[in-house]
Each structure stands twice: as C-alpha cells, then as structure tokens.
Amino acid sequence: MPDLGRYATEVLSAYAVTLLLLVGLIAASVWKARKVLRQLREAENRRDPSA
C-alpha cells in the first residue's frame, strides 16, 4: 500500500465506493439476466416441450 499521506481515507473511500458501485451494477445485471433467461426457457418449454 503506497503512503497516501493525509488523504488516505478520502482516496481509499473513493476507490471503495467505485468498486462497490461497479460490482453492484455487474451483479444486478447478471442477476436480472439469469432470471429472465430462466423464465424464458420455462415459457418456451411450456409452449413447445419438445424444443
């Protein structure tokens, strides 16, 4: 860890918040994608079980 001097809290919190938001965005996108895909497969199965 480099010596961040007197701005250590600020800089670290900036990086932390960014990581949090980006990870959150990616996680939300993945969660929604999986959910929609699952529901779509189920609906397609109901429509045409042989597919």
Partner 1 sequence: MSIWEYANPRKFMATSGALLPWVSALAAILVIGGLVWGFFFTPDDFRMGSTVKVIYIHVPAAIMGSSAWFMMLVTSLIWLIRRHHVSALAAKAAAPVGMVFTLIGLITGAIWGQPMWGTWWEWDPRLTAFLVLFLFYLGYMALWEAIENPDAAADLTAVLCLVGTVFAVISRYALLFWNQGLHQGASLSMDAQENVADVFAYPLWTCVIGFLFLFVALVLYRTRTEIRARRLRALIQRERMA
Interface residues with partner 1 (CB under 8 A) are 2-8, 10-11, 13-15, 17-18, 21-22, 24-26, 28-29, 32-33, 36-37, 39-40, 43-44, 46-47
Q: Closest approach of Cβ 5 to partner 1, in Å?
A: 5
16, 18, 21, 22: CA torsion to nearest 10: -120
- C-alpha to C-alpha distance for 19 and 43, rounded to whole angstroms: 36
Give the residue carrying structure tokens 């079980």: 49
Q: Closest approach of Cβ 27 to partner 1, in Å?
A: 12
Strand positions, DSSP E, the chain: none
Q: Closest approach of Cβ 17 to partner 1, in Å?
A: 5
